[in-house]
């Protein structure tokens, strides 16, 4: 999605839709709501989009593709597994800060996707989680992590990161860099003083 003066009408529609989907939910958001938020007539909205499902698909696939691309780059790198995990946590924090509204809809609104996009989206998500879990397993093998169940570790990390948007959007005095450092510390090092 574009930013600043180069923002297209479609990008504006997508951003307003993400905000409305977050605030009201996908089902409760009408095309009239979206048109009003963008500041155009309802009929004019169809000059830019096919419908509400079109917007949900584009938003969710945009986020899924961002994460997939970054995961592939991190996986291909020669970084040690623990540094790959730190990069992945940083990735989630950065995208939460940059695309808060779009990130918010991955937690629950994906259930409204229709086929064939639903299967594609779920496939990308499953692949991402499998790769993340493998990196966690490698951290355990190399002795960087305690011998924990990788599935539980993955659930713990991703659950926290997927719902980060709901807390972060209300924070005024925490910048993304500080948040990234603190999240890495809390999720990987823990809170018990050693």
Domains and CATH numbers, the chain: 51-189 (1.10.357.10)
Cα–Cα distance for residue pair 70/87, rounded to 1 Å: 9
Q: How far is CA 13 from CA 24, 98, 150, 151, 183, in A?
A: 16, 17, 40, 38, 32
| pLDDT value of position 117 | 98
Provide the residue count of the chain: 194
Q: Find the mean pLDDT for residues 148-173.
A: 93
Question: Which residue did the predictor score with more confidence, 4 or 39?
Answer: 39
Q: What is the mean pLDDT of residues 2-26?
A: 86
- Predicted local confidence at residue 159, as pLDDT: 95
Single pTM value for the model: 0.91
Give ∠ CA 93-98-102 in degrees, rounded to 5. Answer: 95
């Amino acid at each position: 999605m574009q930013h600043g003066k180069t923002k297209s009408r479609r990008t504006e529609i997508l951003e307003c839709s993400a905000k409305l989907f977050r605030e009201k939910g996908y089902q409760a958001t009408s095309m009239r709501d979206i048109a009003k938020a963008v500041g155009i007539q309802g009929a004019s909205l169809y000059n830019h989009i096919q419908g509400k499902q079109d917007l949900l698909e584009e938003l969710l696939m945009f986020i899924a593709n961002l994460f997939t691309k970054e995961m592939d780059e991190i996986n291909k790198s020669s970084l040690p597994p623990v540094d790959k995990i730190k990069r992945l946590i940083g990735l989630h924090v950065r995208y939460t800060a940059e695309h808060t509204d779009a990130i918010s809809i991955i937690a629950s609104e994906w259930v409204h996707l229709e086929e064939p996009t639903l299967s594609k989206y779920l496939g990308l998500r499953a692949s991402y989680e499998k790769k993340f879990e493998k990196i966690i397993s490698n951290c355990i093998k190399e002795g960087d992590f305690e011998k924990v169940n990788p599935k539980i570790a993955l659930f713990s990390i991703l659950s926290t990161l997927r719902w980060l948007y709901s807390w972060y959007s209300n924070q005024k005095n925490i910048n993304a860099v500080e948040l990234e450092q603190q999240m890495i510390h809390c999720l990987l090092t823990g809170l018990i003083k050693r």
